[in-house]
Structure formats: C-alpha cells, structure tokens
Amino acid sequence: MSIQITGSMLLQGVVSGILAGGLYAMVALGMALIFGVMRVINIAHGTLLMLGAYSTFWLFSLYGMNPFLSILISFPLLFLVGAILQRLFVYQVVNAPELSSLLLTFGISIFISNMAMVAWTADYRSVEFLTGSFLLGPIALSKPRLVVFGFALTITELAFLFLNLTKIGKAIRATSQQRDLAQVCGINVRRIDLITFGLASGLAGAGGSLLSVMFSVFPEMGQIYVFKSFLVIVLGGAGNYPGAFFGGLILGLAEGLASLFLSAQLSEVIAYILLVLILLVRPTGLFRGRV
C-alpha cells in the first residue's frame, strides 16, 4: 500500500505544517512567558485556550460576529480570567516546589473543563466562517488556515514588540532572566507576575479563537495543546522566546510530514517521539545560547 509521494505532495505537507506551526508558536509563547517569569508550568493553559474558542463560538453563533474580530473580545476576556486565577490561586505557589504548582494548575484545569462540559455539553461545535481553499499551482492552501496563520504571526509579532519596546515588556523579560535582581532594581515582581499571567492567558484565548475557525470546539480540546506548547518550549530552549517561535514551526512541519508519510492519526505520536528524542539528545533546546 505504498503511495507514490510526489514533489507537490511534499510541498503541500511542508506548507500546511508551517501554517499550523504559526499557531503553535503563538499559544506556546504564552506558556513560555509564565514558565520564564514564575517557573510555573501552567497545566491550565489549554483550558484557557478552550474558553477563548468558546467565546468566539458563542459570539459567532449568537451575534454573528466575525471570528477574527472576536479576538478583540476573547483576548481581554481571557486576560482578565488569567489575572484572576493568578491573584486568587497561582501566586501562592510561585515560590513553592514544582509539585505544588503543577498540581494546582492541574486541579484548576480539570475544574474549568468540567464546568464547560456542564454549561455547554460535550458536543463538538464548529464555526463555519471561512471554507474552501486557494489553488496555488499544484498545492491547495486552505483559506481558514492561511488567514489564521496571518493572524497568529501578527499577534506573535505584536507580543514580541510589546516585550521588546515597552517598559512593562522589558520588566517581564528582566524578571524572567533574574527574578531576585529584578526585584532589587525596583521591579514589582508580583505585579509583573499578574501581567504575565494575564498576557499569557490572553494569548491562549486568542489562540482558541483562531483554532475555532479550523477545528471543532469542545470542552477538552485544549488538553493536547498543553503538551504541544511544552514541546515547542523545549524545542526552542526554555526562556528563549524567539526560539519558541521556531519551535512552533518545527513542530508543525514535523506533524505535516508525519501525516503525509504515515497517518494523520499518528501525528500526536510523532510529536511525542520528537519530545523524547530532543530530551535525550539536546535537552537545552535546538537554539542554545540566544535569549
């Protein structure tokens, strides 16, 4: 049952992989920020993404709002949710052993996703907004994926500009490089924690909004993105924010090629093998040294 793989199919796999990777990078950037600043792996990151996806779905199906426009609502909404979670719970475990923060965010995550199930049922919902694809020579570019890629890239770029140019952004990076020293320099790290958690949750929410255009929306949709985001962070090297961007592209590419040569069913397995191999060979990430 070997299928002849032609050059155009290969190109197709590469292109759709990169398109998916843009979104991975954006979602992972949020998780990388929280990890960098607070040393907390936020297991609830995927759940926040799910909330973003549902807010887009409801705005679309109840008020007919353009899903891409709804990012202007889902981002601030999730920023608020994230800031509240940080203020109520997560701040208590920032300096605690890893076990506490992992379990705490895990508990939050299963609580929220169960509540979403109760409120909105486990049905698979979809936002049918953009369909069809552009034909570009031999390859077909799915319209929603292309537009989503554009938005993901723009939002990621805006986030980088924020981190690099604004005073708060610089304070976030300083805290992530040396928390104690940042505090000595007069940075209110508690406040930075709050802003970082909000920003990261906002990114997850925007990611959910974009995902809803391509895939089904359901309460447990986010779980796999916790794992994928972490893989992206590992690929890029922890604390290396531009690295996380390339990590996202690499993961997308690997999955695109895997579904071409093996089976789309196994794309998660490929991602997993990638993680184990990277940890075995190059645990510091692919792009060592640049922070």
Partner 1 sequence: MKGLGWGTVLLILAGLAIMPFFVTNYIVTFAIQIFMWIALAQSWNLISGLTGYVSFGHVAFFGTGAYTAAILISKAGWHWFPASLMGSVTAPLLAFIIGYPCLRLKGPYFAIAMLGLNEVLRALVSYFEDFTGGGNGISLPPIAELQPVYYAMGGVALGVVLVTWRILTSRFGLRLISIREDELAAEAMGINTARLKLYAFLLSAAFPGIAGGFFAWYSSHIEPLGTFPFLTTITMIIMCLFGGKGTVLGPVLGASILSIFQELVWARFLFIHQAIFGALIVAVVLLMPKGILGVLQERYHLPRTI
Chain residues that interact with partner 1, rule: CB under 8 A: 35, 41, 43, 89, 92-93, 97-100, 102-104, 106-115, 117-118, 223-224, 226-227, 230-231, 234, 263, 265-266, 268-269, 271-272, 275-277, 279-280, 283
Q: How far is the CB of 173 from partner 1 (least distance, A)?
A: 20
Which of 62, 118 has the CB closer to partner 1?
118
- Work out the number of other CB atoms within 10 angstroms of the CB of residue 2: 4
Q: How far is the CB of 225 from partner 1 (least distance, A)?
A: 11
Q: How far is the CB of 84 from partner 1 (least distance, A)?
A: 14
Which helix (DSSP H) or strand (DSSP E) does residue 133 occupy?
A: strand 133-136
Which of 69, 103 has the CB closer to partner 1?
103
Q: How far is the CB of 85 from partner 1 (least distance, A)?
A: 10
Calpha distance 55→158 (Å, rounded) = 22
Which of 115, 136 has the CB closer to partner 1?
115
One-letter amino acid of 231: L
Which of 134, 272 has the CB closer to partner 1?
272
Q: Which two tokens stand for residue 79?
A: 């920023």
Residue 207 DSSP code: H
Q: Which two tokens stand for residue 238?
A: 């922890």
Q: How far is the CB of 288 from partner 1 (least distance, A)?
A: 15
Q: How far is the CB of 99 from partner 1 (least distance, A)?
A: 5
Which of 127, 250 has the CB closer to partner 1?
250
Which of 131, 265 has the CB closer to partner 1?
265
Calpha distance 35→239 (Å, rounded) = 8
Which of 18, 266 has the CB closer to partner 1?
266
Closest CA to 92 of 104, 106, 80: 104
One-letter amino acid of 212: S
One-letter amino acid of 125: R
Calpha distance 117→251 (Å, rounded) = 29
Q: Could you tell me the CA-to-CA distances from 216 to 50, 58, 106, 122, 142 in Å, in that order?
A: 11, 13, 23, 11, 16
One-letter amino acid of 108: I
Calpha distance 4→165 (Å, rounded) = 50
Q: How far is the CB of 71 from partner 1 (least distance, A)?
A: 27
Q: How far is the CB of 262 from partner 1 (least distance, A)?
A: 9
Closest CA to 148 of 9, 20, 14, 288: 20
| Burial annotation 124-146 (CB, 10 A radius, 16+ → b, else e) | ebebebbeeeeeeeebeebebbb
Which of 86, 223 has the CB closer to partner 1?
223
